[in-house]
Amino acid sequence: MDSVKVGIAGLGTVGSGTVNVLKRNARDIARRVGRPIEITHIGARRDNPACDTQGIRLSRDIFAVATDPDIDILVELIGGIDTARELVLTAIKNGKHIVTANKALIAEHGNEIFQAAQDNGVDVAFEASVAGGIPILKSLGEGLAANHINWLAGIINGTGNFILTEMEEGGRDFNDVLAEAQQLGYAEADPTFDVEGIDAAHKLTILASIAFGIPLQFSQVYTEGISRITTEDVASAAHFGYRIKHLGIAKDTGKGIELRVHPTLVPKETMLSAVNGVMNAVMIHGDAVGPTMFYGAGAGAEPTASAVVADIIELGRALTVDHDERVPYLGFHTDHMSDEPILTIDDVSCCFYLRLHVQDKKGVLADVTRILSDNNVSIDAMIQREVDQGLVPIVMMTHEVREGDMNLALAKIGALDTVDSDIMRIRVETLDA
């Protein structure tokens, strides 16, 4: 039987890792597929000494790979959105199956790409787009396919998790740890995508679509970063028995789907709270299986290449199978996708952590608690710390309240002359089974 011919676009960290894994494990991979997998064409702007490309055709024009008539599977590893979209659509029109690790591409243009693939009778595989080497998408779409998924919550950005871990364990501030993350290569020179939650929002978009059978809706994800978290917040959370994690959360409430990425207080005894450093983890709650957690490396050359190559193997096996008989792109057939609405953040209900600084004057705290009570916010616990430069730091934990009510209360409290308007609010998730 002829070999499966693979073309790779992009020879950076993941591209070189993919070449190395395919070559090193060629014998085992061929046994799994039933025929050899052969890299015959690579498109990259420059060579990468981290991998051996001897005997492989090299092109500086990545589109030469997309139009190569000998290629069965195009592996898109260039990153970005616009050029990657054009490349993938070109390859699809030329009858190539697609493997990609590009979460932004799938989250923002996946609906268009899947339709093009359907029209051209080819497949798109994207396991490596979420949580690196953790086989989370296949587990969610196939291993847990018997379940109605109630909710999922994940630490799906290693940079943010590294920063929060170091802030807690070393008592260091955000900017100090961010600088170290950049030196170590965990964070880019412009860290916005990681620390402000955009990267996690892309990944949550994909997870939620597979979990609930809804179209990809990146624009509907509420997104909040970790750049305002202070050592005071970390210490206060610990006082109440919590750790701060940057979570992507998706829930089926029965009235709509919650899609949100934000700093979150989680109880210390939960499994997610113990996930430290650059590691990723996703908890999923299904009605039949109950809670499960998937943990592992969320990035890196070979962990991500592990997922890329697994997709290549899957497509290699499926090349002789009729397109309509293969597993749907998002786990649900396209004509059975749900139109369940996405809830706005105002309609989300949870407990809250609040930190505010008030003037050291009589009656100020009474004003604050009155406003909270008038807006349906009930206080569960409170700490009042020592006066610092004329201001009293106050930390509160609330009972569950609708976010819209909390927003109204905080707007009124922030308008008081006796309260510093920079009020910190962090949502709390117990992750109950």
d(CA 111, CA 217): 9
3-state secondary structure of 135: coil
d(CA 88, CA 110): 11
* Pairing of β 97-100 and β 124-125: parallel
d(CA 280, CA 198): 16
Which residues does the annotation mark as catalytic? 203
Residue 69 corresponds to which tokens in the numbers above?
Answer: 């008539």
Residue in 258, 266, 265 with CA at minimum distance from that of residue 222: 258
CB 338 within 8 A of CB 213: yes
Ramachandran sector of residue 180 (left: φ over 0; alpha: ψ -120 to 50; beta: rest): alpha
Residue in 13, 426, 54 with CA at minimum distance from that of residue 243: 426
Helix H segments across 171-240? 174-183, 192-195, 198-212, 231-239
Query: Strand ranges (DSSP E) for 44-84?
Result: 57-59, 73-76
d(CA 410, CA 422): 10
Length of the chain: 433
